[in-house]
Structure 1
């Protein structure tokens, strides 16, 4: 496993991270989750990503039964807040109250004294940005979070936050967590150049487009037990599963992958890691085998010729 700094900070994370979205408390229960986390640490994964809203707190509770057994100094845990956790009007957004309550709630569920990274899970149009940033600064000063970042914010929103923090002498955001994969390259237009300029790292989610970039759906076949076959989990990929031209392009990645003794999923992850400003790629895995496969993308160097071949198949729109 290779490790990278998170932007200009001193924090180092594994190139491959493990994310609990759509897996923990959905596809994966305690005994299986314990096996996955144990194997992740054995393979050198040191960054575990979660959020309060994942299964309405159940993903954090599951991790809270696992992580305290390991040396706290050896892993990085990230969580997030923004989305509603109940029907109450104060239990959502990025107000001072919700940030304060959410961080404490996450710590209680995770059974930890602090989280390494706290992400603002979306930008809150209803709360003054100054209020959000001051609440984050207070949480850092209290030792409840060490670093903070953004998730799915626009470039101008990130820049505005950085400017306020610089003016006030507050802690700057060190990382951004956007969706980014071969099927969704909009990040490259302005967000990635902005975060690189501002000294922020990027830890992207959905690097395999919910599994489309694994090649398992070749020619439109949906294997039983896969995410694509689960009505509760395939809401983001239904239309693409019926796109024959797209699936043919994905199959076309196999020729490049073969040159590196990799599969399509590993090649797709390695491609992301070769982009500027990437600190870590957040992968979900519902089995130890998937995790072992994903980790093999770390440290791979794709040639310029093959990077161009991949770009030709999936050009930025």
Structure 2
């Protein structure tokens, strides 16, 4: 395993990490999650990602049960949660979502209970909240840090201007700004990481824990001939994701990229993850495998990414046509 510093902080995260979105409590049970997290940890992964919104808190509960049963040294790994969406979707009451001090504080306390831990290493604002003053958000996150309930705070899917506003707010208040952003980043989603966030990286040294390096499985090739039963695109309530992924233009690019992966002697999934790791502004790429063989294949990206030459990267750009 390789480890990178999270931006300008002293925290070192594994270049590959493991997350629970969609999978925990929906696609895998306690037994499978125990095996997957065990394989990840034994492979050197030291960051496990979660959020209040993942299966209405049940994903955090499952991760908490696994961590309790593993009894790993708490100083050897990092866990996260994210707050914004709340637990109840459309049934949330006004105080049960967003980034108000009330919801952020209560969401943090609830995540600690669900994951059976004394503190979160990372706590993200899962989306921006234009209805809450930025000073209130920054103050709340700093209070949680001062109380020892979180160690670092970050943002997820925030725009560059919103992140810059958070840092300006922290500066004039004499507080600590966000240390990490969690954006989607893959061969189809590149603009934030490769263009919009460049001032953030340069001026504030933000780290990133990127999600969906395989574009919700599209970059594995498993959807090239339709949607397999049991895949996340076949799940109830994920029709919005299906519409975003299942586009013929995207599938054609995936098929071409698959040919290149074959020529390079690797799998499409491994190549796609390895490509993400070539970006030095990526601190950690979050994997979401549901089977041990998938996770093992994903981990091979660590062997492949140093071999991706400028010529190979240029060929990938030519195939994808997504470079901003």
TM over 0.5: yes
Q: 1:136 aligns with which of 133, 138, 141?
A: 141
The answer to whether the Cα contact below 8 Å between 2:216 and 2:245 also exists between their aligned partners in 1 is no
Aligned to 1:14: 14
Q: 2:210 aligns with which of 190, 199, 204?
A: 204
Aligned to 2:268: 264
Q: Could you list the runs of 5+ residues in structure 1 that have no partner in the other structure?
A: none
Shift of 1:204: 1.1
Q: 1:280 aligns with which of 263, 271, 284?
A: 284
Q: 2:125 aligns with which of 120, 143, 147?
A: 120
User: CA RMSD of the aligned region, Å?
Assistant: 1.6
TM-score normalised according to structure 1 size: 0.95
Shift of 1:316: 2.5
Shift of 1:228: 2.9
In the alignment, the residues of structure 1 paired with residue 192 and residue 217 of structure 2 have an alpha-carbon distance, to the nearest angstrom, of 19
Query: Secondary structure of 1:237's match?
Result: helix
Q: 1:234 to 1:16 in 2, by over 3 A?
A: farther
Q: 2:294 aligns with which of 290, 295, 298?
A: 290
The answer to whether the Cα contact below 8 Å between 1:19 and 1:284 also exists between their aligned partners in 2 is yes
Shift of 1:234: 5.0
In the alignment, the residues of structure 1 paired with residue 263 and residue 85 of structure 2 have an alpha-carbon distance, to the nearest angstrom, of 43
How many residues matched? 315
Q: 1:94 to 1:239 in 2, by over 3 A?
A: closer
Shift of 1:170: 1.4
Aligned to 2:47: 47
Q: Deviations over 1:243-267 (max 9, x none)?
A: 3332121111123323543211111
In the alignment, the residues of structure 1 paired with residue 174 and residue 244 of structure 2 have an alpha-carbon distance, to the nearest angstrom, of 46
TM-score normalised according to structure 2 size: 0.93
In the alignment, the residues of structure 1 paired with residue 87 and residue 236 of structure 2 have an alpha-carbon distance, to the nearest angstrom, of 23
In the alignment, the residues of structure 1 paired with residue 13 and residue 276 of structure 2 have an alpha-carbon distance, to the nearest angstrom, of 15
Aligned to 2:72: 70
Higher helix share: 2
Query: Secondary structure of 1:228's match?
Result: helix
**Pairs within 5 Å for 1:1-317:** 1-68=1-68, 69-86=71-88, 87-188=92-193, 190-197=195-202, 198-218=204-224, 220-238=225-243, 240-241=245-246, 243-299=247-303, 300-301=305-306, 302-314=308-320, 315-316=322-323
In the alignment, the residues of structure 2 paired with residue 233 and residue 244 of structure 1 have an alpha-carbon distance, to the nearest angstrom, of 19
Shift of 1:85: 2.3
Query: Secondary structure of 2:258's match?
Result: helix
In the alignment, the residues of structure 2 paired with residue 239 and residue 210 of structure 1 have an alpha-carbon distance, to the nearest angstrom, of 10
